[in-house]
Amino acid sequence: MAFNLLQAGFRLTVHNRHRERTAPLREAGAAVADTPAEAAAAADLLLVCVSDDDAVEAVLLEQPGAAIHGLRPGALVIDCSTISPATSRRLADALASRGIGYLDAPVTGGTEGARAGSLSVLVGGEPAALERARPVLEVIGGRITHFGAVGAGQEAKAVNQVLVAGSYAAVAEALALAERLGLDRPQVVEALKGGAAGSWALEHRSAGMIADHYPLGFKLALHRKDLAIALAAAADADLTLPITAQVAALEEVLISAGEGEQDVSVLARWFRVRG
């Protein structure tokens, strides 16, 4: 995402909690800041993309050198992290007290979409703030959708992660059945992917599942975190999500077996590590 912004001509200052990860961006022309506050000091727009609620709150509000200490009134924070809607609303309120705007803008599309600049961006916040952010979002995303007030983007992302859970688990389970029946699994995939059973997961992740090789698109541990958000949102809405709950349980087994840093498609290994 940062490389694409640089290539689009944006003047960019970056900060990463793991300093070594900024080296390629420095070489590509970005300035590197030692703290979030330093990165935010001259920014009209501050884009954040970190792993979870605690990380966002630390980077924006809590840690020494947090971004809130560098942001100027009138700046706008674009938060591409996947966090709970309640945390997004709390962040928006804290920033608004300093005259700083906030959009929750979680993204979906994996590392492939990030590299290609084709992510789907799911936005919650004021329409005027979205229009201000749009030139940046159009570089990182191929589809930008406004769902409503702050928190609505995170709610849409929870729906996305429910769909990811079901589709990846279904592909893993179907391939396990094909293997047990003695079918040629690549042949099965080729035969089925253009029909009613076709999906992004079948198209892009089945080969890795068959090879038992899982190049990282999105970490299993982060997806399990996201399912917790979705299940909590469903509980608040008095809704039971039985498929999502089952996939979350499968992911717990795999995380306990040390697979949490693998791509979500490592769900295929559940059939090897269970029980």
Catalytic residues: 157
Cα separation, 165 vs 112, in Å, equals 18
Contact between 75 and 98 under an 8 Å Cβ cutoff? The reply is: no
Using alpha carbons, list the distances in angstroms from residue 110 to 55, 169, 187, 213, 242. Answer: 19, 17, 26, 17, 25
Contact between 78 and 133 under an 8 Å Cβ cutoff? The reply is: yes
Using DSSP bridges, classify how beta strands 119-124 and 107-108 pair: parallel, antiparallel or unpaired: antiparallel
Helices marked H in 142-194: 152-180, 185-192
Contact between 1 and 25 under an 8 Å Cβ cutoff? The reply is: no
Rg (C-alpha) for the chain, rounded Å, is 20
Number of alpha carbons in the 13 Å side-chain half-sphere of residue 190 = 5
